[in-house]
Homo-oligomer: A and B are copies of this chain.
Amino acid sequence: MKRKGILIILDGLGDRPIKEFGGKTPLEYANTPNMDELARIGILGQQDPIRPGQPAGSDTAHLSIFGHNPYETYRGRGYFEALGVGLDLDEDDLAFRVNFATIENGIIVDRRAGRISTEEAHELAKAIQENVKLPVEFVFKGATGHRAVLVLKGMAKGYRVGENDPHIEGKPPHTFSWKDEESRRVAEILEEFVRQSHKVLEKHSINEKRRKEGKPVANYLLIRGAGTYPNIPMKFTEQWKVKAGAVVAVALVKGVAKAIGFDVYTPEGATGEYNTDAIAKAKKVIELLKDYDFVFLHFKPIDAAGHDNNPRLKVEMIEKADRMIGYIVEHVNLDEVVIAITGDHSTPCEVKNHSGDPVPLLIAGGGVRTDHAQSFGEREAMRGGLGRIKGHDIVPIMMDLMNRSEKFGA
């Protein structure tokens, strides 16, 4: 019997011991009856998205989990972000990820402009697109939250340009570095783009309103992650001979999923932010299972809580994800599906960023052997029957349990 597969990536899931939780991690501390039940009937393990100890980006981690060696395929984040916001890109385009930020007296005081809303970012981006004049064609578009993308048409050869993001607050923005004549030209264009955008943003009515409300204003652009066309030799759908759909809200992961070959859906209410409608995403998964063999569900806000060093919020978001998973489990026949739950990487609160800690992994459903684990958490995963595997092992294991793998040899 061929089964269907559901791969649930809880972005930034893994963590380190939290003192106020008595040394438990947020996943261990959270009340997650649905994942715990899957752990009891299924099998756990730990997975290293790239390799032990190597912190992975969300883009490289997803590439790896979907079977592509990121050291060979990865060409920078910007391209995925741009694909993810629905831009049609040419192979000679150069794309960047952009943050709306707050600058005061030449110092970046908030790298995310108080996490402005998606709507605000989209309106500000529109004003920039209309008013900034560059010597090359460009596309500037809001993504989710404070994020945006910039595409410089036909400038792919200048990909060795640097960034102006100081990555910590309290510092001035950097000057764009460059390594050759093409990237020098891109650096000059970017400086001009940032200068003109600053003027447009300073006087925009959204910022006037935010200023009056005492909120950080989105008056500066931090540009990084120059990216060009990734080297994906074979689409996921061809490689595994499945119809593959994805339920994703954030642009970066949408872009990766598109590049790999998924049909990507974002149900109404799915924002990638803390307020995201998790049940809407679960419903979309159930709907897609009618037509698709393999459904990838991405859930972002657990990662954001790790970046914000907010363990209690991380617990809350994990519990939200658990309810989402409960909805899915209620609406499938567990004999006929294989469900895998993991993160793309760990985002420990103490690190406020991605770490190289392994990520707990749970696989349950038809055909799955049962191990000794009794709940879903980092410590239980250490004694899980899957052992310690690589991110790129997950899909082959799922496809095998789905009875869709091809034998090598006779």
Chain A interface residues (CB < 8 Å from chain B): 1, 16-17, 23, 25, 43, 46, 50-61, 70-71, 74, 77, 97, 224-225, 252, 348, 350-351, 353-357, 367-372, 378-379, 382-389, 393, 395-401, 403, 405-410
Residues of B within 8 A of A400 (CB): 53-55, 355-357
B385 adjacent to A385 (CB under 8 Å): no
A372 adjacent to B368 (CB under 8 Å): no
26 A-B residue pairs with CB within 8 Å: A16-B369, A17-B368, A25-B369, A43-B382, A52-B397, A53-B400, A53-B405, A54-B396, A55-B400, A55-B405, A57-B409, A58-B409, A60-B410, A74-B409, A224-B410, A351-B403, A355-B400, A357-B369, A369-B379, A371-B382, A371-B383, A372-B383, A379-B385, A382-B385, A383-B383, A383-B385
Residues of B within 8 A of A51 (CB): 393, 396
A60 adjacent to B357 (CB under 8 Å): no
In the complex, which residue of chain B has the Cβ closest to the Cβ of A52? B393
Residues of B within 8 A of A43 (CB): 382
Cβ distance A374 to chain B, nearest Cβ, rounded Å: 12
B370 adjacent to A23 (CB under 8 Å): yes
Given A379-B372, A398-B53, check contact A405 B356 (CB 8 Å).
yes
Q: How far is the CA of A17 from the CA of B61 in the complex (A)?
A: 32
In the complex, which residue of chain B has the Cβ closest to the Cβ of A369? B378
Residues of B within 8 A of A56 (CB): 407-409
Q: Quick one: which of B55, B60, B74, B383 contacts A406, CB cutoff 8 A?
A: B55
A353 adjacent to B409 (CB under 8 Å): no
In the complex, which residue of chain B has the Cβ closest to the Cβ of A381? B385
6 cross-chain pairs, A with B, having the tightest CB-CB distances, nearest first: A57-B409, A60-B409, A53-B396, A387-B388, A382-B385, A356-B400
Beyond the given pairs A57-B407, A225-B410, 15 more chain A to chain B contacts, judged by CB atoms under 8 angstroms and listed by A's residue number, are: A23-B370, A25-B369, A46-B385, A51-B393, A52-B397, A53-B396, A59-B410, A70-B408, A350-B367, A351-B367, A356-B397, A369-B382, A371-B382, A382-B385, A382-B387
Given A17-B370, A53-B400, check contact A353 B25 (CB 8 Å).
no
Cβ distance A112 to chain B, nearest Cβ, rounded Å: 15
Residues of B within 8 A of A370 (CB): 17, 23, 379
B367 adjacent to A408 (CB under 8 Å): no
Q: How far is the CA of A351 from the CA of B398 in the complex (A)?
A: 14
Q: How far is the CA of A75 from the CA of B201 in the complex (A)?
A: 61
Q: How far is the CA of A237 from the CA of B294 in the complex (A)?
A: 45
Cβ distance A116 to chain B, nearest Cβ, rounded Å: 20
Given A351-B403, A356-B400, A400-B356, check contact A408 B17 (CB 8 Å).
no
B410 adjacent to A97 (CB under 8 Å): yes
Q: How far is the CA of A93 from the CA of B217 in the complex (A)?
A: 65
In the complex, which residue of chain B has the Cβ closest to the Cβ of A50? B408
In the complex, which residue of chain B has the Cβ closest to the Cβ of A354? B407
In the complex, which residue of chain B has the Cβ closest to the Cβ of A60? B409
Q: How far is the CA of A17 from the CA of B370 in the complex (A)?
A: 8
Q: How far is the CA of A56 from the CA of B71 in the complex (A)?
A: 27
B54 adjacent to A389 (CB under 8 Å): no
Residues of B within 8 A of A77 (CB): 409-410
Q: How far is the CA of A397 from the CA of B405 in the complex (A)?
A: 29
Q: How far is the CA of A389 from the CA of B356 in the complex (A)?
A: 14
Q: How far is the CA of A368 from the CA of B50 in the complex (A)?
A: 19
A53 adjacent to B399 (CB under 8 Å): yes
A387 adjacent to B46 (CB under 8 Å): yes
Cβ distance A281 to chain B, nearest Cβ, rounded Å: 23
